[in-house]
A and B are shown apart, each in its own frame.
Chain A
Amino acid sequence: MSLANLEVRRISGHAATVPGAGLKRDLEVAKLVDTTTCIGCKACEVACMEWNGLTYSDTTFQNSYQTMPETTFNFWNLIKFNEYEPEDGGNLMLLMRKDQCMHCEEPGCLIACPSDGAIVQYANGIVDFQQDECIGCGYCITGCPFNIPKLSPQSQKVFKCTLCVDRVSEGLEPACIKACPTGCLHFGTKDEMKELGETRAKQLREQSGFAHAGVYDPSGVGGTHVLYVLHDATNPEAYGGLPRNPHVPWTVWLWKKPLKWIGNLALAGGLIGMFVHYLRFGPKTVEEDHEEPKEGKQP
């Protein structure tokens, strides 16, 4: 979205330094999603489509309240429903989790992206796609541990939740937060949201009997800028497949870090080696020979 209003921390596929890095003071922002007070009204889904001007598309019946199986290129905010029967024989729970881009501190999409400037991470923690620079390769789809970036079949560009960067850069809260009727969605600095989440989790543990209640802020991706309060933080998978320990895929890491350096050194070494070989040994020639079977031909 707008590069003008926010300080950039990191740029995908970028060989040089990041312009203006460290120039301004920016607070890190975060969304807090309290799954324990979500009523599944989907107002956030509607607000997201409204604010971002997303086109409508057919929904598919999921045998549940869920709008569609997963987020799409034009549906960035999806409430995931799961009818969950606790293994210890407790009451059936209808788990509802607002699924969207997690805005990782260590974004697998940005690390995998080869295109200069197609993905930026702002100093406030928002990870944003710049479709102008996107080449449609889909590496971000492979780099993401949360199954979030989606390719548009029309434009062959990748889209996802922007954390309403255009609103946030103007001092507004994201559209989904604005629309939430129960107050289960909060927006503020990462520190504030973390504190608020921990307070709520403590309340759930001490007053509501959810012994394993906690805040989801996975360290494998350096923490995220979307936090969840879960009734049972030891079982995030129950919340529509929230990964227990998300991290940048190790093959992506292997490819972008050691392999790239080994490969580049090998390429440069090969070129230098050939040049030195030519200086030292030169070409093979057949002019001055070396006996050759005579075919009776004389010059």
Chain B
Amino acid sequence: MRPFARLSGPSAPAVLVLAAVAAWLTTTAAQQPVRTRGVKQLVSELNAPGIDRGLRDADSPRPAPTGSGRRWVNGRGAEYLSGSLIVRFRPGTLPVTQRALLAQVDATAGAALPYADFDIVTLAGGADPEAVARRLSEQPDVEYAQARYRVRPMFVPNDTLYSRQWNFPQIDVERAWDINRGGSSNVVVAVVDTGVAFRSGTLRFTAMAWQRDDGVNFPALGQVDVPFAAAPDLGADRFVSPRDFIWDDNLPFDLAGHGTHVAGTIGQLSNNGMGVAGMAFNVRLMPVKVVDTEWDYIFDSPFIGTDDTVARGVRYAADNGAQVINLSLGREGDPAPAVRSAVEYAVSHGAFVVVAGGNDALEGNEVERYAEFAPQIDGMVSVAATGPDRRRASYSSTGSYVELAAPGGDFSRGGAVGGILQQTLDLDLVETFAGPVSRYTAPRFDAFAYFYFEGSSMATAHVSGLAALLMSQGITSPAAVEAILKQSATDLGSPGRDNEYGSGLINARAALRGLGLAR
């Protein structure tokens, strides 16, 4: 059941007991595909305020968090979860027909999930989810079937205040603030991501033993009380409808720093005498956690970040009043109909959706499956990244689906300060697993620092921030937001739309000014 070997070897009797328990668990899992695993317990509502540990621009580069250690299968360009898949039957398909179709592939449906218009089905044996999905897709009663592809945040973090935020002048944000200073608190932006450092509290987890991708084994830490705090430069009283689809509760704490950094670009408190600025610093933020990271794995979260989780998160955000939904995430592999359907639902409910264009230009430039369908939806845009020199970031994926470009940072051309600077978790106190085992301790999520990150994730957050400003101006139609973002973009690269920059680099002031009769 576990994806990686534990450290200590059990004795023979214990093996028998464990085997019996495992068999029982397997049977149960067949009936209930997502069972409760790790436990996250709020042991205290209070914690000391977040600790600001300053600017971190001189650290040596640290590797990006790459995986949560689950059992993944390498598919065609993307990893996916073994043992289950996502299926949507056509409306009107009788339950008996559904069961019969699933029986043909030795699959059983689980309980219906909230915020989902699809089923998660469990596969018996070692059947390959991609192969089974292809078989099911051929059935006339099946609208789509897909593997549960893993999603990941779109960033390449680097350890490395306003004068350092070259990204805002690049898209004329300062003059845009002359028109609309930070947007309205009536606008809600959903950060569908790894969570956000949105409040204080102490949570009790059980940290299991695990093995890092490079084979290093880490011991179980047992029960640990982990302190959390709201990021000081985000504020604590502007968050609405928080939801965690990884832990299935309303405490979407960020255990990696990605979501908090993205939220900072969208709405970091500004003009407050500390730290850095954000695009739309008056809007409210909705933290929706759909991506699991290392500590979620170590704490054995019950859910994981796959297409179904993302789709549910998007639907939740739309149903709970988000006008802008930021998706600084994505994946390659096969198409993503569940997520597409969720985005269409969100747009039809008045939400403007922004998705990362991808970071794989240097690694095969595979098609980004979430960004891929953005051009077909009026009210959703995919975003490429630019560096400090206004050129496409070296890593930023290219393709016909790229619709806009925004600052994402580029360490390869801008050095350590070539990224996007925002406040996030102090990664030294979070990524205790990144170094030797001797330095492995329980993490803390109540200390913060200013880090430069790069990635189309960061670019996406700029577009979401601008969309929030437009919404604050009364442009509430997602299609209209998309139209003005494109009409006002600064054309870069080949004249007209191109595969590197789409319609061009967003221009915040031009977008907010809108169009006059003659100009």
Question: Do these two chains interact?
Answer: no
